[in-house]
Amino acid sequence: MLGHKPLISCDSRELLKQILVTDYLKFDRSPSEQIAFDDLLGGGLILQPNGPAKSARMALLKNFQPSALKASLLRPIQVGLQQVSKRLHKPGLDSTCAQFEAQSLMQEFTFEVAFRWLFHGHLDMSEDQIQEMRKCFDFALNHLHVRVFLPWIPKWAWEVLPTNSNKKYKRYICNLRENLGQAVLSVLQLESDGRSITSIPKGQDSNPSVVFNTHSKSGVLSSLVQQVIDEIHSESDGASQGSGANSCAPLSRVLDVSVKRLTTMLFASHDTTANTLAWSLFHIAKNEKIQEDLRSDIENNSFDGKFSKWILMESLCMYPSAPLRGRMITGACPVRMNDREIPPGTMCAFNLYSIHRDEKWWPDAWIFNP
């Protein structure tokens, strides 16, 4: 039992597929995850219920097509690699024998790329300011990970504990939200003729008070903000059905939801990606055969080859970014799993690390073999 909730362990590929794919609408995030990460991610794509979360991800999918990514990521990746090169070739440092912490190096790189990809042209920040923002973000994530593993401490207690960590966390969160809020506002051109704009009417293209920044219509940030506005309008339409009232999206709510989703995208594209890249570099450095095959793949395919992708997939398999996860059965009906009826409210825990290294499912599961 976990607190007052029953807990079962799901240690097979079939059960994992049922929870995450086949019957995903019957499961939801664990309460401890929702409570711990709500402050930072709120209505982001991670903590939304599974159905709306999938719809929101599908709406953003156009920005993640290979052709779109190549065009939008090329410059951020170049800048990120320049920063890595500066770190590796500091004046007075002998890079041939110096040791580097790959995880930290890749965290700097992925944050640089993700930040510039999401906010290019929307936040005017120096390199030092971007790195300071990364440190704030990483501290907030580490603080929240502690909360996940201490689920018996209620949320209100975390909010009132007078520790230096809590005070620093609150200060960093305010700073992060302020910067991301400025980026969201930069997407919108608020032409109010001196009037204070508090809401965004439906069909803003025909309303001169609120229009989208013409320089950002094709960007990820613009797509995300537009999606949030459309969702809020849809909710308003449903609530006012039959009343004849025009739906409006309160600007404060647009900012709040957009900022939390942007934070989620930074979280997903920064920390987890850095973990995968660090383990990939670790195994590339250890194995000369992998180095030779990768070099050949790059020379022949310009990073579009299969072997490069196989290395990343093998790293994800052997070193999952979030190895210990759980889902709770929601709704009023039990779910049938392995010929047993599992009641609602049951926590289904799964250890991706052990499943991916179980030789019952994978031959040579402990060998890095892309």
The rounded distance, in Å, linking the Cα atoms of 88 and 297 is: 24
The rounded distance, in Å, linking the Cα atoms of 261 and 270 is: 14
pLDDT of residue 309: 86
In the numeric block, which tokens belong to residue 24?
């995903």
pLDDT of residue 315: 92
Burial of 343 (0-12, 13-18, 19+ CB in 10 A): exposed
In the numeric block, which tokens belong to residue 288?
């000369």
Phi and psi at residue 55, to the nearest 5°:
-65, -40
The rounded distance, in Å, linking the Cα atoms of 144 and 36 is: 6
The rounded distance, in Å, linking the Cα atoms of 292 and 295 is: 5
Q: Which amino acid is at 150?
A: L
pLDDT of residue 193: 44
pLDDT of residue 208: 47
In the numeric block, which tokens belong to residue 76?
């951020």
Please name which of 214, 170, 156, 212 lies closest in space to residue 189, comparing C-alpha atoms: 212
Centroid of chain to Cα 7: 27
Please name which of 354, 329, 327 lies closest in space to residue 342, comparing C-alpha atoms: 329
Q: Which amino acid is at 122?
A: H
The rounded distance, in Å, linking the Cα atoms of 332 and 346 is: 12
pLDDT of residue 230: 79
**Which residue spans within the chain are E strands per DSSP?**
7-9, 27-29, 188-190, 199-201, 210-212, 248-250, 324-329, 335-337, 340-342, 347-351
Grouped pLDDT means (10 residues each) for the chain, 370 residues: 67 85 82 68 62 67 72 80 77 59 82 83 74 81 76 75 82 84 76 51 51 55 80 69 59 83 80 87 90 85 74 90 83 84 87 86 85
Residue recorded with tokens 């440190």: 135
Phi and psi at residue 7, to the nearest 5°:
-130, 130
The rounded distance, in Å, linking the Cα atoms of 123 and 130 is: 10
Cα dihedral 54/59/60/61 (nearest 10): 80
pLDDT of residue 244: 47
Cα distances (Å, whole numbers) of residue 3 to 6, 7, 44, 183, 350: 8, 9, 27, 41, 18
Report pTM: 0.77
pLDDT of residue 195: 47
How does DSSP assign 172-239, residue by residue?
A: HHHHHHHHHHHHHHHHEEE--TTPPP-EEES-GGG-TTEEE-TTSTTSHHHHHHHHHHHHHHHHHHHH
pLDDT of residue 85: 80
